Amino acid sequence: MISKRLKQLRLAKGLSLDALVAEMGGLVTKQALSKYELGKSKPTPSVLTKLASALGVKAVHLWSEPSLDVRFIAYRKGSGLPRKSQVQVEAQVSQDLEERVRLQNLTNQHDGNIPIQSLKIKKVADAEDAAEQIRSDWNLGLDPIYSVSDVLEDHFVHVLEVESGEKFDGISAVAYNDDGGIEAAAVATRKGVPGERQRLNLGHELGHLILKVPAAVDEEKAAFRFAAAFLAPADTIFREVGSKRASIQLAELLLLKQKLGMSIQALIYRLHDLGIITDSYCNKWWITINRLGMKKQERGELAPERPQWLRRTVLRAFSEGLIVKDEAESMIGEIIQTEEALSLIGRRAFMQLSKEERRKILESQAEKAKPHYAQDKDRDGLQGGDFIEYDKP
């Protein structure tokens, strides 16, 4: 049956039934597609091929039903993300996470100790302790985190980038197997946001993953407090800024932004949460931020991080013969140059040179291939002119 997979792929592409009919050139009707998704009928081989082409997959992929139960942790309150967009995001994340779990299994990468909602808090401020606990468990110390993406992926929390509108910031997901065991977890953020916002979003979604928040506590505030403490531990902030400040300069905040990888707005919140600046001075900064037009676009934007686990693992799986070249290229969206291909490119480039240029290269290689002889008499027991070694060309 292809029902679940077909619907997942269609939704991940953001296509309605009518839109998919149009992509297929009207080969089938909307009613026929609906029956396929409901499992009431099966497409013919020719229709299946056209379906796969419209969805950007191979026909065989449509026959593999989703093998995981992917559950999502709620969107941010007040995000205003339309239901249609939510469905698309969840379908895309489910598909990507399932693909990564398959790669984990192929390359035998597992970690059965992902702390899903295991750190209990009673109030928002307790998120500080939870962040310190995770940093300690993951041996991160107190130094700034160079790459949040790398840290998360090193601990089997997959980082996914989602194409979506501005109302989407991020979401967390957990993949369970048929036995109810956790296979993997993921945090997803919108692709293309500045690095400082991306990093805070990743920390925020990590907070949703690991914090156990009672109903009486604002879950969003707790997740943001966790993210800020994860990126900038209290001791680090006190060391860099001091315990009390009556004034702080924009230039100083910009330097902190570069060092800690946090937005100026997040830094202002952090200083206020830690009691370094007063309520009134914090409010003055919000007025300044609005006046300078930095609420939506700050100065000194950081480049977004680029998650590497997928590309690294796909190349590994391909090199070990676990997946074929076409599949690997499809998964990472790039052409893979094998050693044979690179060698062929080199030969073609050589033949495009002039005859004189080729002659000089060949003479140079021949010269390098000549044996080297000892010049110092009695060195290492050899007489001048005795053979020592060949250099590889």
Q: Tens digit of pLDDT for each residue in 270-309?
A: 999 999 999 999 999 999 999 999 988 899 999 999 999 9
What domains are defined for the chain?
1-65 (1.10.260.40), 66-244 (no CATH), 351-393 (no CATH)
Task: Out of 66-75, 147-156, 194-203, 300-309, pick the least confident.
Answer: 66-75
In angstroms and rounded to an integer, the radius of gyration of the C-alpha atoms of the chain is: 28
Task: Out of 131-140, 163-172, 235-244, 266-275, pick the least confident.
Answer: 163-172
Alpha-carbon gap, residue 104 to 136, rounded angstroms: 25
Q: Tens digit of pLDDT for each residue in 35-69?
A: 988 889 888 888 888 998 888 888 877 887 777 88
Q: What is the DSSP secondary structure assignment for residue 66, as one 8-state letter?
A: -
HEC per residue, 251-320 = HHHHHHHHHHCCCHHHHHHHHHHCCCCCHHHHHHHHHHHHHCCCCCCCCCCCCCCCCCHHHHHHHHHHHC
Q: What is the pLDDT of residue 393?
A: 34
Distances (CA, A) of 187 to 59, 169, 210: 29, 11, 11
Q: What is the DSSP secondary structure assignment for residue 243, as one 8-state letter?
A: S
Q: Tens digit of pLDDT for each residue in 221-272?
A: 999 999 999 999 999 999 999 999 999 999 999 999 999 999 999 999 999 9
Tell whether the model's pLDDT for residue 379 goes beyond 60. no
Q: Residue 222 corresponds to which amino acid? A: A
Percent of the chain with pLDDT over 90: 50
Distances (CA, A) of 100 to 104, 223, 308, 387: 6, 25, 12, 56
Tell whether the model's pLDDT for residue 180 goes beyond 70. yes
Contacts of residue 90, defined as CB under 8 A and 6 or more positions apart, other chains included, come to 11, 70, 72, 171, 173
Which is higher by pLDDT, 113 or 45? Answer: 45
Contacts of residue 195, defined as CB under 8 A and 6 or more positions apart, other chains included, come to 261, 301, 302, 303, 304, 305
Q: What is the pLDDT of residue 265?
A: 96
Q: What mean pLDDT comes out for the span 325-334?
A: 88
Residue 389: band (very low, low, confident or very high) from pLDDT cuts 50, 70, 90? very low
Tell whether the model's pLDDT for residue 311 goes beyond 60. yes
Mean pLDDT of the chain: 85
Q: Residue 359 corresponds to which amino acid? A: R
Which is higher by pLDDT, 264 or 351? Answer: 264
Residue 193: band (very low, low, confident or very high) from pLDDT cuts 50, 70, 90? very high
Alpha-carbon gap, residue 140 to 78, rounded angstroms: 33
